A = this chain, B = another copy of it.
Amino acid sequence: MASPRGTVRALILAGGSGTRLWPLSTDLRPKPFLTLTGSESLIRQTFRRAESLCGAGNVWISGRRSHTELLRGELPELDEGRFVLEPERRNTAPAIALSALVAASPDDVLAVLPSDQAVRDEASFLSALRLAAGTAARERVFVTLGIPPTRPETGFGYLEAGEPDDGGVRPVLRFVEKPSPLKASEFLASGRFLWNAGIFLFPVDVLLAELDRLCPDVLAGARAAARARAEGDARRFAEAFSSCPSISIDYAVMERTPTVKTVACSCGWSDVGSWEAVREFRSADAGGAADDNVTEGPAEIVAGRGNLVLSRRPVRLIGLSDVVVIEAPDGLLVMRSGSSDALRKSVEEGLRT
């Protein structure tokens, strides 16, 4: 077994949004900046994980330029240079390529962490992350954290894992797109499939080589942008970054590279991707009240169970179960649990008023 080399650095991806969390999540203050679980924002919680992995001095942030103030507010301990800010959204591959060039050396391992996920068991998560980072550093392979599925979810991608080695690290046999309900049930029953949480550990030299081989346009644009950034040329930076094709790291690299390994991580992970997910996370957090209601703020629920109510003002919810009520400055959501796709559609279409 080779001994590890280079430094582990963390890259927090803060560019995402979330129409399924309206009215709290908006373009002006998207999901990473919301306090949906626990007492801190999701990005702040992610930063703490990254800090535990590699120290605050090795944490970098990829985000949107329009969110500069939000990012600084949440992460005041980071210098300006640690924020790699995009002039426009080009999906994850250009963001990761650029940040790898700006933040890391070829010998390093870059741990890519989405900024909008929650983890109940932080210790298990970190232990899996460390195992994955060590494997990536020693073996110079891509490693991903895999989440053992707890339901036949059709909204996530999956990865099929082979037999574990002595340390518990498993080869990824294939990546699978969002499956049908039938497939998802088979995956769940088989025990061989894990959710792809988008948490990747890249040996930087291998990442750059694979980007060069599999999507040279992304790497070329990222290199030009990194140079312009170093020279302080904002216009050229924006031009170069925008020249990158908009593509996810999954499509660009992960699904096409020959060797990926995975560390399975049972840590009460949640993508916090919908109000139902928020309710589930917080309900388990609360140990499960008898009526299974989850509330924040002055709410009274009469004759109802399985509800989620978040409000700053007094709410009375009467005679309804499995309902989501979210009161926020931008508006009010009242939704039957399980209607998140309809919510997303409605928000994307814009409020007809």
Contacts and interface: CB of A to CB of B under 8 A. Distances in A.
Interface of A is mostly: mixed
How many copies of the chain does the oligomer comprise? 2
Interface in A306-330: 311, 313-320, 323, 325, 327, 330
Interface residues of A, number: 35
Given A300-B351, A302-B342, A318 B332 contact: no
A299 B342 CA distance: 15
Interface stretch (A153-161, A212-220, A333-341): A333-341
Contacts of A316: 22-23, 331-335, 343, 346-347, 351
Contact of A346 (B318, B331, B336, B343): B318
Most chain B beta-carbon contacts within 10 A, residue among A330, A332, A352, A353: A332
A303 interface: yes
A79 to B, nearest CB: 39
- Nearest first, the 9 closest Cβ-Cβ pairs linking A and B are A319-B336, A314-B331, A298-B353, A319-B339, A318-B335, A318-B339, A315-B332, A317-B334, A320-B336
Interface of A: 22-23, 298-300, 302-303, 311, 313-320, 323, 325, 327, 330-336, 338-339, 342-343, 346-347, 351-353
